[in-house]
Every structure is written in structure tokens, then in C-alpha cells.
Amino acid sequence: MTDEREIRQTLAAALVERAKKDNRIVVLDADLMSCHATKCFKEAFPDRFFNVGIAEANMIGMAAGMSAMGKIPFTYSFAPFATRRCFDQIFISVAYAGLNVKMVGSEPGVAAEANGGTHMPFEDMAIMRSIPKMVCFEPTDATMMEKALDEIIDYPSSVYIRMFRKKAAKIYDDSLDFKLGKAIELRDGSDVTLIASGIMVERALQAADLLAEEGISAKVVNIHTWKPIDKDAIVEAAKKTGAIVTCENHNIFGGLGSAVSEVVVENQPVPLKMVGVKDEFGQVGKNAYLSEVYGITTADIVKAAKEAISRK
């Protein structure tokens, strides 16, 4: 079921509510206010909203300065420009300096659709995961984004939020008990574990249904925080099912598959298959078409699960 709320609108509205109680919160946007629905924040707090123009590196420098003065800045841009374009500023001005900046990168992976290869980041989480002490988070739906915000604001170091902007599949309701770095089991199973993030969570659940029709019991785990990753959940799943499939809208090099493999190889080696983009650049196309091209469909997850099980 598709959520009625867009993730971008949910985050922006929630920031307005938090900012009413916390005057440290400021928002910086790289000339993408309509894309990120941040107009509501500008209208509520015109003196705490900064449109820096298409100058992402400068935006990070400004945010670092604001953080040094006690503010909690949220920066917004499309994911490749929020990460790849201003990597050195993030690494030195923010992370190395031990500052607290919350960076929102939108339209990750195939979500970029018609914006094409230059705007289609399959590497953003790999980039950010390489930075010491950086938290890397991908909300699954609007409910998770809203539930996560208080912890993100209070978290003592910088956070990268990989945000699908529009309406996503509704996976969670208001009973969600969220914690950064803590995986969520959506379905129990005994034959294989499907570990998914972002838009791939819905596909993993669909794959589990299809596998069940063939008598295969699939455990589904949502790892929303790629760093710090929930090692205990991964090891437990590996022990119980003996096979893992990672599902990501991202390059498998440095992405979720890599992060999970780093845990598995040291703690509980089991057969593992990665469903993700395999060393490719982006291109223009609709989500469904691009998912077929890059091999990240529900059918691809089913196939990978069977292959992983066959290697047990």
C-alpha cells in the first residue's frame, strides 16, 4: 500500500514542529526548496532558512560554521550533490572538525528517474559510510522518517539521511519503536534472510510472499541504518537461516551488501547474494524500467534467494 504522505513533506513539517521548541535548528537548501518541500520552514522561520543557491560545497561550509556556533543545521540537496560534489568539505569541515550537521540527500538511485545519470547516485552511501563517525540512514517510509527525527536531532554527531522524496510504500504505522542502528524484523523465516533498505523493503516483502508459495521460508529484516550497522541482528539472522540476500537501490560496492558482508565474514560466514547495482552508471528512465535494467526487482530477489539457499 502506498503511503498518503510524501517523505519530503513529512520531514519538512516535522522540522517546523521541532524548530518551534528548539531554536538551534536551521535549514540550508541548495536552490531546491520546491523539490524538498522546505517552503513551510522558510515561511515559519524566515531568519533560520538559507537558500545558498547551487553551491553545495559552500552550503556545507556554512553549515559547519553554524554548527560550531551551537546550531543544528539541516542541509538539503539531491544525493549526488549532497555527497559526491562536496565530499572534502564534509570530511574536513564537518566530520574531522567533530561538528554536528544533518545532511539530507534526496532522490537516491533509481528514484532520480528522468534526471538521468548525472543525478542518479548509486554511490552516496558508500561515500558517506567511509567517513569516520558518520551515521548513514535511509528511511523506509514517512512514518519512519518522522519517528527518527528526534533521535537524529539529538544525536551528537553528523547524520546523512538518504531520502526518497515522494510517496513510498507504507511499511510502518504509528506503533513503530524506532532506534538508529537497530534493525527491524518484518517477517520471521528459517530458510533465508532478506536484508533490505529503502524502497527495496517492499520488494523484499513481496519476494518473501512469492518464496512462501514455493515452500521457502524467508526472514525479512529492514536495515535502515547502514552505519552504525546492527551487527547482532545480522549474526543472529545468519545463524538462524544460514543464507542471506542483501537488497539495495545502490551500488553493491561499498553499499549495504558490502556492509553486511563485513559483518558476516568475520562473525558467521554463510552464503550471501547481493541484489543491487553492479558497477554501473545511472541513466534516464522510470523506476520500474531502471529496476529491471539494474537487476533490483522482486524477481531478482527471489532468484538470489534460491541461489543463496542452494549454496548452503
**Other C-beta atoms lying within 10 Å of the C-beta of residue 283:** 14
113 is catalytic: no
Distance CA 119, CA 112 (A): 6
Burial of 69 (0-12, 13-18, 19+ CB in 10 A): exposed
Report CA-CA distances (Å) from 141 to 33, 57, 111, 165, 260: 21, 28, 14, 10, 22
- Which cell is 140 given? 523506509
269: cell is 560466514
> Which residue, chain included where needed, has cell 503511503?
3
**Going by C-beta distance under 8 Å and a sequence separation of 6 or more, which residues neighbour residue 195?**
183, 204, 221, 223, 234, 237, 244, 245, 246, 247, 256, 260
Q: What are the Cα distances from residue 16, in Å, to 12, 24, 65?
A: 6, 12, 22
CA atoms of 92 and 89, how far apart (whole Å) = 5
Cβ–Cβ < 8 Å for 60, 100: no
Question: Of 43, 56, 202, 236, which is the active-site residue?
Answer: 56
Active-site amino acid positions: 56
